[in-house]
Amino acid sequence: MTRITCHMSISLDGFVAGPDQSRENPIGVGGLRLHEWHRGDQVHEADAAARDDLMKRRGAVIMGRNMFGPIRGEWDEDWRGWWGDEPPYHAPVFVLTHHPHDPIEMEGGTTFQFVADGFDAALGQARAVAGDHDISIAGGASTVRQAFAAGAIDEITLDVAPVLLGAGERLFDGVEDPGLELVEVTASPNATHIRYRVGG
C-alpha cells in the first residue's frame, strides 16, 4: 500500500529554510546549518539511520519549484537542478510550477516532470507511477503545506536541529492541526529525529 511521507530538517523556531534564498544560499542564509547532522565523514549512529531513511528510494517524489532551483518566473535558462547529472531521487520527480516546462531526464532514473495544474494534479501523477511504493513530499515549506491542506501526508519525520534561524520559511504557518501521533524519537548531539503518524 502506498504511503505518502515527508522528511524535513527544521530549526527549533520552526524554519526549514533561512531568509534570502538564492543560488549562493539555496536553503537561505544559515539554512545549511539545519543539515549539518548528516554532513561530513563522521555521522552519529542516530543521524545515519535518519539519513538512510531520508535517502531511501521512493516510487515518486513531489517538490516545489523553489526546491528545484533558484529561477523565478518564466524559464530563461537550462537549469537541471542542484544535484548534478545524477540526482539522489532515482524516481520520477513532480515539480510544482506556474510555468510549464518539458520533462528533464537525468542519469540514475530521475526524471523531472513539471506540473502547472496544482498539487492535486501532481499527486495524481505521482500515484499513477508509484504503484505500491511510497511517495515522498520533498519540500519546500509551501509544498508541504499544500500536502497538509490536501490531507495527503500519512507520516512526517522532523529532524530538529539545535538552531534558531529567526526568519525564513516556516513549515507549519497556516497548517491546521493534522493530529500527530508520535511513532519514534531518536537523537544525537546534532539533531532530534521525531517521526509522527498523521491523522492519529
DSSP assignment of 52-105, as one string? Answer: HHHHS--SEEEEEHHHH-S--SS--S----SS-SS-S--SEEEEE-SS----EE
How many domains is the chain built from?
1
The one-digit pLDDT tens for each residue of the chain (200 residues) are 799 999 999 999 999 999 999 889 999 999 999 999 999 888 999 999 999 999 999 999 999 999 999 888 899 888 999 999 999 999 999 999 999 999 999 999 999 999 999 999 999 999 999 999 999 999 999 999 999 999 999 999 999 999 999 999 999 999 999 999 999 999 999 999 999 999 96
Flag whether 191 is in a domain. no
Flag whether 18 is in a domain. yes
List the one residue out of 99, 83, 161, 96 whose CA is nearest residue 124. 96
Neighbouring CB atoms inside 10 A of 133's CB total: 14
| CA-based radius of gyration for the chain | 16
pLDDT at 1: 79
120: enclosing H helix or E strand: helix 119-130
Check if the beta carbon of residue 120 is closer than 8 Å to that of residue 128: no
CATH number of the structural domain spanning residue 24: 3.40.430.10
Spatial neighbors of 32 by CB under 8 A, at least 6 apart, are none
Flag whether 134 is in a domain. yes
Flag whether 161 is in a domain. yes
pLDDT at 130: 97
Flag whether 152 is in a domain. yes
What predicted TM-score, i.e. pTM, was given to this entire model?
Answer: 0.95
Flag whether 190 is in a domain. no
pLDDT at 163: 97
N- to C-terminal Cα separation, the chain = 18
Flag whether 44 is in a domain. yes
**Structural domain containing residue 35:** 4-72+81-176
Flag whether 183 is in a domain. no
pLDDT at 200: 64
Q: Reduced to 3 states, what is the DSSP secondary structure of residue 135?
A: strand
